[in-house]
Amino acid sequence: MSRTLRVAAAQLGPIHLADSRAQVIKRLLALLEEAHAAGCRLVVFPELALTTFFPRWWSEDQAEIDAYFETEMPGPETQPLFDRAKELGMGFYLGYAELTEEAGKVRHFNTSILVAPDGRLIGKYRKIHLPGHSEHLLDAPFQHLEKKYFEVGNLGFPVWRAFDGIVGMCICNDRRWPETFRVMGLQGVELVALGYNTPTENIHHPEPVHLRMFHNHVTMQANAYQNGTWVVATAKCGAEDGFPMIGGSCIIAPTGEIAAQALTEDDEVIAFNCDLDLCDYIKRTIFNFEKNRRIEHYGLITERTGVVLPPKS
């Protein structure tokens, strides 16, 4: 009997500055109901799913910045999502801005949690690859201040036995780095849940718009195949206060094929029956790590951070 897990990517359309958390929770609850009606047991919501993508805005007022963060999860405003999911017997991945205190220090992370169908917190992940910049780019059409507003995650890339399989998490820019998936692949991951907020325009270098979606999918398809894992990737998308972000939420098989993809840039549920046993032949043959990896030749990957060019002859 194969281990089939019916999973939903619950894509969110724009969340504007003026939208309240209560309004967003209402949308998340509607997506949860739709995923339940579609027979799903796990729902993947986007990165920073409770607010607008606030790293696009420059601020030096810490109170203003902290207002985008959650100091408890669940808190009074998010509790209804946890309660309804438990009633429906559904687990979920939720991305949010986490404000916490560790060793007497206030910490700010771009975080995701994995919640079990019985409401138990299975695990937490804090975004490690923070893109963008920390300075105010005065000439840019918008900012991308994740390096200013968040700290680098301190929980590594763990996986958990959950939903009858091995599940891991990452967040947005993490999906562009093969190391993210390989570390989880070396722990046997069978399904990686991730959310993303990806601006349509590249403020760092002019490039054709179609490349945004191409890079979004190619990187996840490759990493799914190279680690024999399902990838469920959910966008928050559409134009937030006029700033467009790409959709393209998708469910990718361990073969690297896109099994389901969102059609809109609005609230939308896509679902697929993920056969977790499909991971097996990829992990056992072409990407049998034990048999085929040669770590004695990979030293630079962890010894060296940036590029060192060969000497000029």
User: Which residues are near ligand ING by CB under 6 A?
Assistant: 131, 172-173, 176, 196-198, 202
Catalytic: which of 47, 146, 190, 265? 47
Contact 141, 64 (CB under 8 A): no
CB of 109 or CB of 196, closer to ligand ING: 196
DSSP tag of 123:
E
CB of 273 to ligand ING, least distance (A): 27
Secondary structure (3-state) at 109: strand
CB of 128 or CB of 259, closer to ligand ING: 128
- Tokens in use for 85? 């999911």
Strands 91-102 and 42-44: parallel
Number of H helices and E strands in the chain, helices first, is: 9, 14
Catalytic: which of 172, 237, 250, 274? 172
CB of 202 to ligand ING, least distance (A): 6
Beta-bridge mates of residue 116 = none
CA angle 49, 53, 160 (to 5 degrees): 40
- Tokens in use for 236? 């928050």
CB of 36 or CB of 176, closer to ligand ING: 176
The type of residue at 76 is: P
Residue 179 annotated as catalytic? no
Catalytic: which of 70, 127, 190, 240? 127
CB of 190 or CB of 240, closer to ligand ING: 240
CB of 51 to ligand ING, least distance (A): 13
CB of 155 to ligand ING, least distance (A): 17
CB of 148 to ligand ING, least distance (A): 13
CB of 67 or CB of 209, closer to ligand ING: 209
Contact 251, 230 (CB under 8 A): yes
Nearest to 131 by CA among 74, 35, 56: 56
CB of 158 to ligand ING, least distance (A): 20
CB of 90 or CB of 171, closer to ligand ING: 171
Tokens 């692949």 found at:
185
Nearest to 232 by CA among 221, 242, 245: 221
CA angle 217, 219, 220 (to 5 degrees): 65
Residue 47 annotated as catalytic? yes
Tokens 């009858």 found at:
164
Residue 172 annotated as catalytic? yes
The type of residue at 141 is: P
How far is 179 from 218, CA to CA, in rounded Å?
15
The residues annotated with a catalytic role in the active site are 47, 127, 172
